[in-house]
Amino acid sequence: MSMPRIFLVGFMGAGKSSVGTALAARLGYQFFDLDNEIERRLGTPIPDVFAHRGEAAFRAAESDELARFAELDGVVVATGGGAFCSEANREVIHSTGGVSVFLDLPWAELQRRLAHDHADRPMYGDTRQARRLFEERLPQYLCALVRIALAGDESPEEVAGRVEEALREAPCAI
């Protein structure tokens, strides 16, 4: 059986890390959180990277880390909300046989989640800016090979089950 790479994509607050952990456990794959790997690589928390080195330095490290995972087998990778919005990153994921999965939540639910959980998310700005960013990014998230439409009241385990089901039905699947 092939051991693909699964990349969870979607906006901040979509639950990529918690769903990724649950999905990796179900599949017996290894789980990686791209943001944690970037922090490890740069030796600083992400808000400090943005504050002291700027977004471009963060994006460069993000692309480097992503490329590293595109060579591994049997992994689930939770990406940061901006990673899949780079065409080059999408190309790296897909050209190496990776499967992108978009966790698609309505803006109202993301807003509710992020209202009290945006302090460590430099791209959030304020509610208006975050909403604009969400709308700009939506067409890019829709480039994912698999889309999981969610209401937001599902547990990470339920979502992981939905993802596994969708992957088993997909031609590129697990």
Q: Tell me if 81 contacts ligand S3P by CB under 6 A.
A: yes
Q: Tell me if 12 contacts ligand S3P by CB under 6 A.
A: yes
Q: Tell me if 105 contacts ligand S3P by CB under 6 A.
A: no
Cα angle: 133, vertex 108, 144; to 5 degrees: 55
Alpha helices in 28-155 (DSSP H): 34-42, 46-48, 55-69, 87-95, 107-115, 127-141
Q: Tell me if 98 contacts ligand S3P by CB under 6 A.
A: no
* Least spacing, CB of residue 140 vs ligand S3P, in Å: 11
Stated as kind and residue range, the H or E segment containing 146 is: strand 146-149
Among the residue ranges 23-31, 79-87, 90-98, 153-161, the one whose residues contact ligand S3P (CB under 6 A): 79-87
* Least spacing, CB of residue 84 vs ligand S3P, in Å: 10
Rounded Cα distance between 103 and 120, Å, is 21
Q: Tell me if 123 contacts ligand S3P by CB under 6 A.
A: yes
Rounded Cα distance between 81 and 59, Å, is 11
Binding site for ligand S3P (CB under 6 A): 12, 16, 35, 46, 80-82, 121-123
